[in-house]
Structure 1
Amino acid sequence: MKQFVLILSLFTFVACSEAPQQPSPQSDPAPEALTEQASGWTKGYMAAVANPYATEAAAEMLAMGGHAVDAAIAAHAVLGLVEPESSGLGGGGFMVVYEQDTKSVRFLDGRETAPAAATADMFVRDGATMGFLDAWQSGKAVGVPGTIALYKLAHDNYGKLPWETLFEPAIHLAANGFVVPAKLANYLPQMAQISRLDENPGSAEYFYPNGQPLRAGSIIRNPEYAQTLQRVAAEGPSAFYSGEIAEAIAAAAQAGPDGGSLTVEDIAGYQALERPAICGPWRELQICSATPPSSGAMQIMIANMYDHLLPEDASAEQRIQAFVDAQRLAYADRDYYFGDPDRVEVPLDQLLDPRYLEYRGNNPAEPSGTPLPGDPAAVLAQGTAAIWAADSTYEAAGTTHLSIVDNEGNAVSATMTVEAPFGSARWAAGFLLNNEMTDFARDYDASQPEAANMVRPGARPRSSMSPSILLDDDGELFMVTGSPGGNSIPAYTAKTVLGIVDWGLSVQEAVNFPNIIARGDTVRVEISVDSGQQQADHLRATGYNVEETDGENSGLHVILVTDEELIGAADPRREGTVASGMAVN
């Protein structure tokens, strides 16, 4: 129980102390410099990112006329330095990209992969599954990082600025120093209690100089990170996936205690992939997101089931109840069916079929009950559903999200991660390694059916990350949204979609609205923000098993496109900022 309380305390932690002074992006050229782009786009650019330094880097690329992808890469390279607890070069992520001229949406998958020697029972000891803390800090948790390969795939497809230009802001900060953010500093005393961050080579010296945790407002440099990025900028991904950096990654993953099996051969074989984006209709909009191993399809599921659950002339309370029930149904289906699509057959078309969504929406679980996965094959009379073991995945609340629209109306919704805070706490070449293998179902019983999200060699673990882009009925950009937050990401993200489109909230109001996460037999409600207690009281009175929380780990970054302008919002629960302007031609 003590371990569980510590984990819950850490992963719902919100940096509430005042952030140190950091740069505020300035990117407002004189009015005479504002010109209409060839695409006809006249709204300029906007970046909503999780840290002011990273927002500034994105704005710098956009002001130079860079593509949204250029800005996303530059911003994330900075985030890996100033927000290492959430994402970095040692992790991976997903990008959903909208191209204004073709009105097309594409999905780029930079999810980490399991080592070739990974086994379904690798987190099982003497017949018992390793506790999360032990698994999290072990070398077994480290998968092949996908970030740099994702950068390259995205830049090859969309980049307008030179590859090496994208890394200049991060290299400058790493070499010359940056102000330690409050969010980073406030994690460190807690991490010393439950992780090896203050003990492992590299991470101990960096985050705990002279044995003391970094303090907010102090200046820190990371010359190792600068050197790694300088090599990547000059040599491309080969500098990362082979040679000294790859050897350092493999050595850190294999080191004790509980060393893993990751090898330089695993690292050299990594590839980022383009997969089909998934777009589904909802009212007059199209919701587009990432396909499995992402959980982006849940945005389509939740929104459509929500409509079927709404009574006529629904009150505000009934709308929240419909949101809760739609989540519960979507999570039950996601947990049961989703895995690596290259290893298991995910019945995505059936799960998103309007007839199935209508059936599910018309048959919610009782508030006091536990929602069960549906059987789309039976509902649609199409084949036989796969039989999987019940899901046992525990996905920690880490990660970061950035939403960007460039000066030509192209957009990126990108969610990036090292999984739990500070990943595995293992250090290589100036950055932390992920613990993404704990995103697989760790329980294993050879006498039972496999889980869809079971550990498999070379597989990509299921992710809750749901980077999403909404289009209007003409295929034009309407909204860019997404959030970090582990298993709560689909709920956080759906809140902004429903809040803006159906609940009459402004962009910032939708972000600020109490987080409500309904998965399984529990509805978690954030009571530390306005109306949170009211929501919790009503849901409890309706019969739901309500768990009240004082803080949620969302980090929503949203951009709404109106007829006149872009409207952006950053989540006050973290340290994000929004920058806008117009590129000078």
Structure 2
Amino acid sequence: MTARSAPARAGAAILGALLCSALVAPVAHASPPAPPKRASAVGHGGAVSSVDPHATAIGIDVLRRGGTATDAAVAVAAALGVTEPYSAGIGGGGYFVHYDARTGEVATLDGRETAPAATRQDLFLDGGEPIPFDEAVTSGLGVGVPGTARTWQAALDRWGRMDLARVLHPAERLARRGFAVDETFRAQTEQNQERFRDFPATRELFLPGGKPPEVGTVLRNPDLADTYRALARRGVDALHRGPIAEDVVAAVTEPPVDPAADREVRPGAMTAADLRDYRVEERAPTHVDYRGLDVYGMPPASSGGTTVGEALNVLEGTDLGSVDRAEYLHRFLEASKIGFADRNRWVGDPEFSEVPTEELLGQRFADMRACLIRPDAVLPTPVAPGDPRDPQDCRAGTAPTAEPHEGPNTTHLTTADRYGNVVSYTLTIEQTGGSGIVVPGRGFLLNNELTDFSFTPVTPGVPDPNLPGPGKRPRSSMSPTIVLRDGEPLLAVGSPGGSTIITTVLQVLTARLDRDRTLAEAIAEPRASQRNTATTDAEPALLADPATAELTALGHRFERTAEIGAATGVERLPDGRWAAAAEPDRRGGGAAAVPYPTR
């Protein structure tokens, strides 16, 4: 979401008062006041950073009441399901990474959506040919079995102090009383209005009067409030069995499209058993040692932990703090290129294919790949993948590949608490607006996560670990990351942005850890994203950087894009205080806060 107020300069008392007025006071026809919002904050008692001020304020209130980082994270995520419904919600899934201050351990919860049991490898083929991508997105066919609600419960069971009902209550109130529409929400609605119009439940919720809501008007979602209340009373099983589950299955298998709409909406094959049997998996995090720091991320089927980790290992041999900006960016882009070549070949759901995670993260393999990078030339694209099981010295070459498609949306939140626990949580419904299908009477959009599968093998004639299959989790680029120094939390970071998530997290990490930027500065820096393609996506501010001319002379080719990612992060400062950081501008700016601010 975008900025809804001027930067906050008040202390804890004002933040609490505004939280109260936003969530408790009766809502009139005028826009309700938004909580304070700023891109950075420093203080005590923990920290929260998200893309939305309502969600961040709710998380801060949880921390003030003695909640853990996990309690706050679930409360923030539920609020984002109200104010960021096109990016995340209980119709989707995500990855939850947690640092436990008591044990010093990092653990992960895999709440990624799964393919229904009836899914076959030719899911997105018709007559042997891939169906149009847009038809796969706006369909029941692309909907995966959602995992977000069970992720919340699993996290609370393991690391929470509050129950589900308590952490859902603020989001329920927010949904019932509404929030003020901003420029980003209206723009995202406009981008989707053609398909939203074809589903009566979606149209009624997001196109009041048949058109996108005006900026400043109040959008309420009483159906979602009722759904949250059902979850609070009956537990998350309310989504996985019973009337709500029946409505989800019906929306997938008989998409509720307007009979008058001129749109083919393919049905999916989800069953009540698919929903009932969904399980969140606890997995060992990925881990690399980067300049004496421990960097933990999400393991496969996420490709975030392996690709960020491999790229860091590739960069380990260069003192990125001493080189000039052009060389730093050159090596960052080339390491990203190499990481994506290996990611596309090797990473998929480890329950269905042998993913060489340990070897991909090995320094020996990284060194063999790093030697491909030359200071005076650019690697031709697409770079051929290496074999981490049998690393070869400087074996270059290209390989014909098709770039996998991932939606540019998703959302990320980071939290920390007074006890020293930290959460880095990325959740999503895939595309902006997901499948476009609101479950009638329930107030939430269904995901289109199965379009993250490869429709056909990425490299002809080479096994693709990311083809569809029954119960399989599609590969993701979500990269929630936690960095420890001497066993204690240093920082946590993550971002939305589809496949650009990986490069965004990598760029923030290297800017903070190598280039002596503060976390807020590292998040604000202009971005580029190279994903083993002929051109590199770059923001306007980076294209205006004098270093870009040097990169172009080396052979880099850039393509202008408005913005890349929308990162959030928290950091533990040497004096024990917490710093929270969010975007100052991207997506209109994020919302960072601490319970007890200091100057």
What TM-score, normalized to structure 2?
0.87
Give the residue type in structure 1 aligned to 2:389: A
Correspondence 1:463 to 2:466:
no
434, 439, 450: which one aligns with 2:452: 439
Query: What are the equivalent positions in structure 2 for 1:127-526 lying under 5 Å apart?
Result: 127-193=128-194, 196-256=195-255, 257-294=265-302, 295-308=304-317, 313-364=322-373, 367=378, 369-370=380-381, 371-379=383-391, 393-428=404-439, 429-443=442-456, 448-472=461-485, 474-526=486-538
Kept in 2, the 8 Å contact 1:198–1:207? The answer is no
* C-alpha distance in 2 between matches for 1:457 and 1:27: 52
Q: Please give the secondary structure, in 2, of the residue aligned with 1:403.
A: strand
* C-alpha distance in 2 between matches for 1:82 and 1:440: 28
* C-alpha distance after superposition, 1:406-458 (max 9, x if no partner): 11110000000000001000111110000000000012699945411110110
Cα shift at 1:20: 3.8
Give the residue type in structure 1 aligned to 2:293: L
561, 566, 579: which one aligns with 1:555: 566
Kept in 2, the 8 Å contact 1:63–1:581? The answer is yes
Kept in 2, the 8 Å contact 1:514–1:530? The answer is yes
Cα shift at 1:319: 1.1
* C-alpha distance after superposition, 1:532-584 (max 9, x if no partner): 443432221111222222x124110011222122222111202420110249x
Q: Residues 309 and 142 (structure 1 numbering): CA distance in 2 closer, same or farther, change over 3 Å?
A: same
* C-alpha distance in 2 between matches for 1:569 and 1:378: 41
* C-alpha distance in 2 between matches for 1:460 and 1:521: 25
Moved more, 438-447 or 97-106: 438-447
Aligned to 1:109: 110
Kept in 2, the 8 Å contact 1:556–1:570? The answer is yes
Correspondence 1:83 to 2:84:
yes
* C-alpha distance in 2 between matches for 1:290 and 1:447: 28
Kept in 2, the 8 Å contact 1:517–1:523? The answer is no
Kept in 2, the 8 Å contact 1:100–1:408? The answer is yes
Q: Residues 389 and 74 (structure 1 numbering): CA distance in 2 closer, same or farther, change over 3 Å?
A: farther
* C-alpha distance in 2 between matches for 1:201 and 1:462: 32
Give the residue type in structure 1 aligned to 2:501: I
* C-alpha distance in 2 between matches for 1:128 and 1:356: 36
* C-alpha distance in 1 between matches for 2:9 and 2:200: 35
Kept in 2, the 8 Å contact 1:335–1:391? The answer is no
Q: Please give the secondary structure, in 1, of the residue aligned with 2:205.
A: helix
Q: Please give the secondary structure, in 1, of the residue aligned with 2:316.
A: helix
Kept in 1, the 8 Å contact 2:307–2:343? The answer is yes
Kept in 1, the 8 Å contact 2:331–2:373? The answer is no
Moved more, 183-192 or 407-416: 183-192
Aligned length: 546
Q: Please give the secondary structure, in 1, of the residue aligned with 2:168.
A: helix
513, 519, 541: which one aligns with 2:553: 541
Cα shift at 1:312: 10
Cα shift at 1:297: 2.2
Q: After the TM superposition, which parts of structure 1 deviate over 6 Å for at least 4 consecutive aligned residues?
A: 22-27
* C-alpha distance after superposition, 1:70-104 (max 9, x if no partner): 00100010101111111111000001000112111
Give the residue type in structure 2 aligned to 1:350: E
* C-alpha distance after superposition, 1:143-182 (max 9, x if no partner): 1000001001101101101221100111101112221232
* C-alpha distance after superposition, 1:508-545 (max 9, x if no partner): 22111111111113342434226644343222111122
* C-alpha distance in 1 between matches for 2:550 and 2:221: 49
* C-alpha distance in 2 between matches for 1:446 and 1:369: 17
Q: Residues 354 and 445 (structure 1 numbering): CA distance in 2 closer, same or farther, change over 3 Å?
A: closer
Cα shift at 1:303: 1.4
Give the residue type in structure 2 aligned to 1:576: G
* C-alpha distance in 2 between matches for 1:92 and 1:486: 14
Q: Please give the secondary structure, in 1, of the residue aligned with 2:47.
A: strand
Moved more, 138-147 or 214-223: 214-223
Kept in 2, the 8 Å contact 1:96–1:106? The answer is yes
Superposition CA RMSD, Å: 2.4
* C-alpha distance in 1 between matches for 2:64 and 2:446: 32
Q: Residues 423 and 22 (structure 1 numbering): CA distance in 2 closer, same or farther, change over 3 Å?
A: farther
* C-alpha distance in 1 between matches for 2:320 and 2:251: 55
Q: Please give the secondary structure, in 2, of the residue aligned with 1:404.
A: strand
Q: Please give the secondary structure, in 2, of the residue aligned with 1:376.
A: coil
Q: Residues 216 and 447 (structure 1 numbering): CA distance in 2 closer, same or farther, change over 3 Å?
A: closer
Give the residue type in structure 2 aligned to 1:89: I
Give the residue type in structure 2 aligned to 1:219: V
Kept in 1, the 8 Å contact 2:51–2:591? The answer is yes
* C-alpha distance in 1 between matches for 2:210 and 2:515: 50
Q: Residues 25 and 554 (structure 1 numbering): CA distance in 2 closer, same or farther, change over 3 Å?
A: farther
Identity %: 33
Cα shift at 1:318: 0.8
* C-alpha distance in 1 between matches for 2:153 and 2:51: 22
Q: Residues 297 and 445 (structure 1 numbering): CA distance in 2 closer, same or farther, change over 3 Å?
A: closer
Moved more, 423-432 or 566-575: 566-575
Aligned to 1:37: none
* C-alpha distance in 1 between matches for 2:71 and 2:435: 28
Kept in 1, the 8 Å contact 2:321–2:516? The answer is no
Moved more, 516-525 or 528-537: 528-537
Give the residue type in structure 2 aligned to 1:407: R
Kept in 2, the 8 Å contact 1:115–1:144? The answer is yes
Aligned to 2:12: 28
Q: Residues 139 and 52 (structure 1 numbering): CA distance in 2 closer, same or farther, change over 3 Å?
A: same
Cα shift at 1:192: 2.2
Give the residue type in structure 1 aligned to 2:125: V
Cα shift at 1:289: 0.7
Q: Residues 321 and 553 (structure 1 numbering): CA distance in 2 closer, same or farther, change over 3 Å?
A: closer
Unaligned runs of 5+ in 1: 1-14, 31-41, 382-387
Cα shift at 1:296: 1.7
* C-alpha distance in 1 between matches for 2:461 and 2:137: 25
Q: Please give the secondary structure, in 2, of the residue aligned with 1:377.
A: coil
* C-alpha distance in 2 between matches for 1:83 and 1:340: 28
Unaligned runs of 5+ in 2: 15-42, 256-264, 394-398
* C-alpha distance in 2 between matches for 1:216 and 1:25: 25
* C-alpha distance in 2 between matches for 1:355 and 1:24: 48
Aligned to 2:126: 125
* C-alpha distance in 1 between matches for 2:385 and 2:359: 13
* C-alpha distance in 2 between matches for 1:241 and 1:186: 33
Kept in 1, the 8 Å contact 2:48–2:594? The answer is yes
